[in-house]
């Protein structure tokens, strides 16, 4: 009942936001990209509405890429596309937005982490398994390379969610209060907020902590009230969400090269005319490049910024963490497409 209530609440929010976006035909398609209009993908007077949703605030380093995405859609659409960006979970939590696309409750273009998508397609757990990739570029080469096209097609067929591109969201690190963390043993008994996905829960345990799933929007308050003791996120999130105000130690575990996808409903995607599909794909490709570069270029400075804001920075024994992490890969890889892990390791690192 809780999940249904959350979905209905999020749906009501989206309906109120998209009601004015229907085409002249008055019909609304079932699926994602947030578009409205007839599903036949017909005439030149058709207006395709893409309500882009993200859980990140407009102050996040990638927000500029998100806004550029919708601006490019509007520009290239020449009046046939109406795109709007909604930040800070205005269209629902990350999980709710993914659920709405998968279940045809509404159609939209969203930016979810692969951990949220892996609930529907377990093979994507590989992106959130700890220490799979050595460099951000290796993750990008794997995710966006032609060798993985078959996986995105399979996912779209099985789940109604099509991934149009993946960008690098940053390396995930721990923050905590008043604790020296060198090995997983140092995190024993620590309540660590993680994403509500099986792979994230397992990773939290492999890091040595007690994983506690919690919505991102609830995290700051939960840290300040000590409902959870620690959290793990990319540096950009730690800065934009001001976690440094309620956590005083940054532990550079670098346990996941975090990905974020641009995703759309497969049924909606197939209903779009080819020229609109091309416009959307072009804008997404540009956003992937822009967002990845923004994160990569900013990460080194972000560590310095957090130090200047009063955080103590620790470099732990990464080999100890990696040794624990292998258990996660061993446990979850049985649910992945055959050969997927080998493909990930073969991806070029630069």
Return the pLDDT at 42: 55
88-136 pLDDT per residue, tens: 999 999 999 999 999 988 889 999 999 899 999 999 999 999 999 999 9
pLDDT at 52 over 90: yes
Mean local confidence (pLDDT), 42-59: 88
Domains 2-168+259-299 and 172-257+300-344 share a fold: yes
For position 13, what pLDDT does the model report? 43
Does residue 45 have a pLDDT over 90? no
pLDDT at 55: 92
CATH assignment of 2-168+259-299, among 3.40.190.170, 3.20.20.100, 1.20.1090.10, 3.40.50.620: 3.40.190.170
pLDDT confidence of residue 130:
96
**Based on the number of CB atoms within 10 Å of its own CB, is 99 exposed (0-12), middle (13-18) or buried (19 or more)?**
buried
Q: How confident is the model at residue 24 (pLDDT cuts 50, 70, 90)?
A: very low
Residues across the chain:
350
The C-alpha angle with vertex 148 and arms to 332 and 266, in degrees rounded to 5, equals: 95
Integer Cα distance of 30 and 264 in angstroms? 12
How confident is the model over 260-277, as pLDDT tens digits? 999 999 999 999 999 999
Closest CA to 170 of 56, 299, 67, 321: 299
Nearest-angstrom CA–CA distance, 129 and 252: 17
Q: Which one has a higher pLDDT value, 26 or 229?
A: 229
Residue 104's pLDDT is 85
Largest CA distance in the chain: 63
pLDDT band at 85 (very low <50, low <70, confident <90, very high): very high
pLDDT at 32: 37
d(CA 126, CA 259): 11
Contacts of 48 (CB under 8 A, 6+ apart): 23, 33, 35, 36, 37, 77, 80, 81, 82, 272, 276
- pLDDT given for residue 3 in this prediction: 43
pLDDT at 225 over 90: yes
Which CATH number does the domain 172-257+300-344 belong to among 3.40.190.170, 3.90.550.10, 2.130.10.10, 3.40.640.10? Answer: 3.40.190.170
Provide the percentage of residues in the chain whose pLDDT is more than 70.
87
Give burial (CB, 10 Å; 0-12/13-18/19+) of 163. buried
Q: What is the mean pLDDT of the chain?
A: 89
pLDDT of 2 > 70? The answer is: no
Using the predicted structure, report yes or no on whether residue 279 has a pLDDT greater than 80: yes
pLDDT by residue (tens digit) across 289-343?
999 999 999 998 999 999 999 999 999 999 999 999 999 999 999 999 999 999 9
pLDDT value for 18: 39
Name which residue leads in pLDDT, 4 or 288. 288
- Mapping DSSP to helix (H, G, I), strand (E, B) and coil, where does residue 139 land? helix
- Boundaries of every domain in the chain: 2-168+259-299, 172-257+300-344
């Amino acid at each position: 009942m809780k999940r249904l209530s959350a979905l209905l609440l999020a749906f009501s929010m989206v309906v109120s936001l998209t009601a004015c976006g229907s085409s002249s035909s008055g019909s609304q398609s079932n699926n994602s990209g947030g578009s409205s209009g007839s599903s036949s993908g017909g005439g030149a007077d058709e207006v395709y509405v893409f309500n882009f949703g993200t859980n990140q605030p407009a102050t996040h380093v990638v927000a500029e890429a998100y806004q550029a995405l919708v601006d490019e859609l509007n520009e290239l659409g020449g009046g046939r596309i109406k795109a709007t960006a909604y930040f800070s979970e205005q269209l629902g939590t990350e999980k709710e937005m993914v659920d709405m696309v998968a279940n045809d409750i509404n159609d939209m273009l969203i930016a979810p982490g692969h951990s949220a998508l892996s609930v529907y397609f377990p093979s994507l757990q590989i992106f959130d398994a700890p220490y799979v990739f050595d460099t951000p570029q290796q993750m990008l080469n794997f995710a966006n390379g032609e060798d993985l096209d078959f996986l995105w097609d399979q996912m779209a067929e099985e789940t109604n969610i099509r991934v149009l591109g993946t960008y690098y969201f940053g390396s995930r690190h721990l923050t905590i209060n008043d604790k020296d963390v060198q090995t997983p043993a140092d995190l024993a008994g620590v309540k660590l907020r993680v994403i509500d996905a099986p792979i994230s829960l397992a990773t939290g345990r492999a890091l040595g902590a007690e994983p506690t799933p919690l919505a991102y929007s609830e995290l700051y308050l939960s840290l300040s009230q000590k409902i959870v003791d620690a959290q793990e996120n990319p540096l950009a999130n730690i800065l934009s969400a001001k976690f440094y105000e309620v956590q005083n130690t940054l532990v550079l575990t670098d346990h996941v090269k975090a990905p974020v996808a641009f995703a759309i409903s497969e049924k909606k995607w197939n209903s779009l005319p080819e020229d609109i599909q091309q416009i959307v794909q072009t804008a997404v490709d540009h956003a992937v490049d822009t967002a990845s570069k923004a994160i990569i270029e900013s990460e080194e400075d972000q560590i310095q910024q957090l130090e200047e804001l009063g955080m103590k920075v620790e470099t732990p024994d990464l080999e100890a963490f990696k040794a624990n992490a292998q258990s996660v890969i061993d446990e979850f890889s049985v649910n992945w497409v055959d050969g997927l892990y080998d493909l990930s390791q073969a991806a070029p690192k630069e």
